């Protein structure tokens, strides 16, 4: 298992994350956390570990920067912002040599689920699966 702290950066934005890649990974799941959750959430870490055990790479990251969390309630419902950040994460996955060619799935929770649906709609066949847990698809 390859476990790596990563930073996704663009235009001065830094999104820290954690990439876990099992040997012979068969896909990669990008987590899109919603309100009240993040890459350090015990529930998300547990779900990622189970996915890793079944051969899926996982990318846990926060869609908001530390500074943006100061206006958390406003930003957590900014669907355009969350969608752009998740789209940035998908770009990073597509460029990562250790993930090249793997199918991409998005696992969204709360407002992250709405962002996952938006990204999947924009990306079409580049996204192989979407999971919405307690999502806000109405957004």
Query: Which two three-digit tokens encode residue 58?
Result: 């996982």
Q: How much is the pLDDT for 105?
A: 98
* Total Cβ atoms within 10 A of residue 58: 26
| Strand pairing class (127-133; 56-61) | unpaired
Q: How much is the pLDDT for 67?
A: 76
Query: Which two three-digit tokens encode residue 104?
Result: 């991409």
Helices in the chain by DSSP H: which ranges?
42-53, 72-76, 79-95, 111-123
Helical pair 79-95 and 111-123, crossing angle rounded to 10 deg: 60
pLDDT mean values, one per 10 residues, the chain (139 residues):
93 92 97 72 88 97 79 74 94 96 93 91 95 68
| 17 burial via Cβ count (<10 Å: 0-12, 13-18, 19+) | buried
Residue 28 β-bridge partners: 57, 104
Task: Tell me the C-alpha distance between 75 and 79, whole Å.
Answer: 8
Q: How much is the pLDDT for 103?
A: 98
């Amino acid at each position: 298992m390859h476990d790596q702290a990563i930073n996704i950066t663009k235009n001065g934005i830094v999104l820290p994350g954690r990439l876990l890649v099992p040997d012979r990974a068969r896909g990669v799941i990008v987590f899109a956390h919603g309100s009240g959750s993040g890459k350090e959430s015990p529930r998300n870490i547990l779900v990622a570990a189970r996915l890793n055990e079944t051969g899926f790479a996982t990318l846990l990251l926060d869609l908001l920067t530390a500074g943006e969390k100061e206006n958390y309630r406003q930003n957590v419902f900014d669907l355009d912002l969350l969608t752009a950040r998740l789209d940035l994460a998908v770009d990073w996955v597509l460029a990562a040599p250790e993930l090249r060619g793997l199918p991409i799935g998005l696992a969204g929770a709360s407002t992250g689920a709405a962002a996952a649906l938006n990204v999947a709609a924009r990306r079409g066949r580049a996204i192989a699966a979407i999971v919405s847990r307690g999502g806000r698809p109405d957004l």
